[in-house]
Structure 1
Amino acid sequence: MDFMQLLDSIDNFIWGPPLLALLVGTGIWLTLRLSLLQIIRLPLALKLIFSAKSDGKGDISSFQALCTALAATVGTGNIVGVATAMKAGGPGALFWMWMAAFFGMATKYAEGLLAIKYRSVDANGQVAGGPMYYIEQGLGKKYRPLAVMFAASGVLVAYFGIGTFAQVNAIVDATKGAFGVPEYVTAIILTVLVAAVTIGGLQSIAKVSSKVVPFMAVVYVVTAMGVLIVHADKVPGAIKLVIDSAFNTTAATGGFLGATVMMAMRNGIARGVFSNESGLGSAPIAAAAAKTKWPAEQGLVSMTGTFIDTIIICTMTGLCLIVSDVWVGDLKGAALTQAAFASAFPATGTALLTFGLILFAFTTILGWNYYGERCIEYLFGVKSIMPYRIVFIGLIASGAFLKLEAIWLLADIVNGLMAIPNLIALLGLTGVVVAETKRYLAYVKNNEVEEEIEDLEVEQIK
């Protein structure tokens, strides 16, 4: 067995049924303990995105924290990941992505809550938080090795995986294929832009993310809606096919080789988790910096990230692939989604998807730059931040010319290793999550009663 085969075997083992079961199982457990909070409190969570008061200690608003987290999660996985899942598992994979997202919302809620509950302030006066802090402070000092494992894996993923090479290659390939831009030109422009934003730290990243993320999400969703409107007569059948294929073997048709229920389930859950990152522990690093005094409030805001990423954006992509019938062809990855968009907009579809892919990949770079920075600061202190940023920028510059499969496999492995200590902490701190939730909901109920009394008094005066 050569080195590549060894890495591939390790990758398949880590991202096999045990980890997927742990990820989904943690979500199910939290869903039960929180009494279906992701359904009952979703309206409140969506309202808080724009109405959270930002009246607590922190570096950025709750909205900016959400956008920074979405910057990292809404990426090539929403375009390429959905296409890959459907190509391997059929339309039923989309259903299992929904299931992963539904239970993942409870997981993301718990992560956001614990991030605020156990955050601290570093030597530079900036808020520091995330799984490494709630592992050490929540579970106790004896669990510090788990915190170190998470932080070390986080730095490696930021340097060699989601944060750099995968995104840079996506941008380079997109600009070269759609517009004929040479690799070195894209590399220079991208490096300058990343350097300009990331050297400024979280404030700079949050400002860019809070403007770019809503814009890119709206553009992508509106374009996808256009595809669905053009193929409106096929939408009901597409939804029925997704549900039927989730529980029945999908027959071979066209270039699609067919898929069992297990293939649909595994690909849907794996790609769903990879897309929204619920349970991986990345999003709470950004959530910790939010200006709020209520851990549960930020938990609710964080929860909407999974809803937006998977339930909205991934669903749009999946339905576009089905109604345009491109999923049964011979295309793969981004080319599959590109063909779906072009089926409705022959003149502009390719350009619109390329534009979306570039923005998605660019913001993912920014988000993961911050995640890696917080992880390395936990390991080596604030003096390591600037050297980390310089190396990160250097990797962005070189990433356009590197296509090392071994590095991508290694990144996938350490990405999975991030999840293990985080999930252990979520299970161990479930009692804290439940207690904080009850405290916040009691506060919300009291406020609602007070507002009703005030409204009644106003009516009586009138």
Structure 2
Amino acid sequence: MWATIEENLAAVSNFLWTYPLSVLLIFGGIFLTYRIGFFQFRFFGHVLHQTIGQIFKKTQSKGTITPFQAFTSALASTAGATNIVGVPLAISLGGPGALFWMWVVALIGMATKYSEILLSLKYRETNEKGIWVGGPQYYIKKALGWKWVASAFAFFLMIELIPSTMVQSNSISTQTEQAFGLSTYLTGAIMSVLIAIVIFGGIKRIARVTDKMVPGMVLIYIGVCLYVILVHADQLPAVFGLIFSSAFTPVSAAGGFAGAAVGEAIRWGTARGLYSNEAGLGTAPIAHAAARTNHPTRQAMWGIFSVFVDTIVICTISGLTVLVTGAWKDTAQENASNMISVAVGTVFGDTFGGAFISVFLLFFVVTTLGILIFYGEKQAEYLFNLKAAKVMRVVYIIAVFIGAIGGLKFVWQFLDLLLAFVLLANIIPVLFLHKEIAAITKDYVNRVYKRRTETRDVTLFYESEEEDESQ
């Protein structure tokens, strides 16, 4: 009976991600790209200057954490197991062409992520502790008046994060067991304690941890993988040809790779691309809502940069690493999570490859789970109250341990389906708010970008909004 339920769930998830959601994400992203005047392409240099170029710039604008801390907090939920495990999984199930569809989702997803963060900053508010909070549930309710949709988003995300934390913790416990022989029970206990220490300090402690750990971890991971790619540089032309050809034509079986149809490349590339950069999912806006900024667009540009870093840079490097080394053909589908280890091992040796990925997954997963649990808490706070948020915090920590030991795996089957519900509850309202997104973007371009005005000389967006409301 359960096998039948599993098959039905898989069939529904595959259908949703192969057709309706792929179309919605791609064409929705194209539409938003048009509405913001191709902002992510036309102003990409300006985006880099206003994001990575302003890391050390202090601001006294309204908010709880710095813009960079908001960025690293949001990036913490995407950079990690989704890049190290998710990309190889997409390739093992959808073929090399899945990487192409991840790029497509990323390029147009930049506009989607920009738009949802912009709306989150526009409609954020302070809670009873004086902490700035925001996200899809707030702009859905306040801008559209769709209270039931806002509640549905919060509920589905709160529930979805239970299997999500399980999958994340299991990815590291299996790696450490294989690399070091550590018991999954011990790994689960260690992760649960570390994560509890981080999240019980709230968004400020999470931000302090992520802004110190995430950049360094990302740079080291990229450096090691780039070296592996350079060693196999002679394979790059053939690999890029394979990526583009298999995005539109079926790939036959080879070695441990079972073969894949075009639909599978689209399905897994789109699903893992979204799961990697979370564009359209509505999670990143929750972290960005706490940022100190004087204009929604200033912080929303970090969304464009984060998609670029997460998918165009990190996911591409992960994908190329397993493709140029042949690890995608040498590794059985059920062991896809070990592909990066195998690939790195071709240059540095199997022992180093396994240890390297295990250590990095541990640090990545700790930061990822910290921010994911924060997201879940905020949904419980929105739906109920702060006490409910604390209860969910405990639930998620328990889920981390259970996932690490491989318990309740049947719950994991609901992950893609719940992600679909969360996506639908967010992306449709964002598309309905396209006029407001376009207007705020135009305000920034005309009033800030074109005048090359410094922050201190700009009439603060939030102050002008308060004046409008008082009239």
TM over 0.5: yes
User: Which residue of structure 1 aligns with residue 393 of structure 2?
Assistant: 389
The whole-number CA distance in structure 1 between the counterparts of 2:266 and 2:10 is 21
The whole-number CA distance in structure 1 between the counterparts of 2:37 and 2:142 is 26
Q: Is the 8 A contact 2:18 2:263 kept in 1?
A: no
Task: Tell me the CA shift for residue 447 of structure 1.
Answer: 4.1
Which residues of 2 match residues 4-153 of structure 1 at below 5 A?
Answer: 4-50=6-52, 51=54, 53-140=58-145, 143-153=146-156
Post-superposition CA distance 1:94-117 (Å, at most 9, x none): 111100111111100001100100
Q: Is the 8 A contact 2:116 2:430 kept in 1?
A: yes
Which residues of 2 match residues 146-295 of structure 1 at below 5 A?
Answer: 146-158=149-161, 160-162=162-164, 164-295=165-296
1:319 to 2:324 alignment: no
Q: Is the 8 A contact 1:156 1:411 kept in 2?
A: no
Query: Which amino acid in structure 1 is aligned with residue 421 of structure 2?
Result: L
Which residues of 2 match residues 385-424 of structure 1 at below 5 A?
Answer: 385-424=389-428
The whole-number CA distance in structure 1 between the counterparts of 2:433 and 2:423 is 15
* Secondary structure of 2:77's aligned partner: helix
Q: Is the 8 A contact 2:82 2:276 kept in 1?
A: yes
Task: Tell me the CA shift for residue 342 of structure 1.
Answer: 0.7
The whole-number CA distance in structure 2 between the counterparts of 1:414 and 1:449 is 44
User: Which residue of structure 1 aligns with residue 469 of structure 2?
Assistant: none
Count of residues paired in the alignment: 447
* Secondary structure of 2:51's aligned partner: helix
Task: Tell me the CA shift for residue 450 of structure 1.
Answer: 8.1
1:431 to 2:435 alignment: yes
Q: Is the 8 A contact 2:115 2:430 kept in 1?
A: yes
Post-superposition CA distance 1:401-441 (Å, at most 9, x none): 34323211223322221111111111111111110001111
Task: Tell me the CA shift for residue 74 of structure 1.
Answer: 1.4
Post-superposition CA distance 1:356-383 (Å, at most 9, x none): 2222222210110110011111001223
Q: Is the 8 A contact 1:122 1:382 kept in 2?
A: no
- 5+ residue gaps, structure 1, are 452-462
User: Which residue of structure 2 aligns with residue 336 of structure 1?
Assistant: 339
Task: Tell me the CA shift for residue 66 of structure 1.
Answer: 0.7
- 5+ residue gaps, structure 2, are 456-471
Task: Tell me the CA shift for residue 215 of structure 1.
Answer: 1.4
* Secondary structure of 1:174's aligned partner: helix
Query: Which amino acid in structure 2 is aligned with residue 316 of structure 1?
Result: I
Post-superposition CA distance 1:178-232 (Å, at most 9, x none): 1111223222221211111111110011111111111111111001111011112
Match of 1:353 among 348, 351, 357: 357
Q: Is the 8 A contact 1:170 1:358 kept in 2?
A: no
The whole-number CA distance in structure 1 between the counterparts of 2:193 and 2:114 is 35
The whole-number CA distance in structure 1 between the counterparts of 2:19 and 2:121 is 31
C-alpha distance 330-445 of structure 1, shift in aligned 2 (>3 A)? closer
1:379 to 2:380 alignment: no
> Percent sequence identity over matched residues?
40
| RMSD, aligned α-carbons | 1.9
C-alpha distance 96-411 of structure 1, shift in aligned 2 (>3 A)? closer
Q: Is the 8 A contact 1:7 1:406 kept in 2?
A: no
TM superposition score normalised by structure 1: 0.92
The whole-number CA distance in structure 2 between the counterparts of 1:97 and 1:129 is 28
Q: Is the 8 A contact 1:154 1:375 kept in 2?
A: yes
Q: Is the 8 A contact 1:64 1:207 kept in 2?
A: yes
Q: Is the 8 A contact 1:124 1:382 kept in 2?
A: no
* Secondary structure of 1:161's aligned partner: helix
C-alpha distance 56-383 of structure 1, shift in aligned 2 (>3 A)? same
* Secondary structure of 1:57's aligned partner: coil
The whole-number CA distance in structure 2 between the counterparts of 1:244 and 1:139 is 43
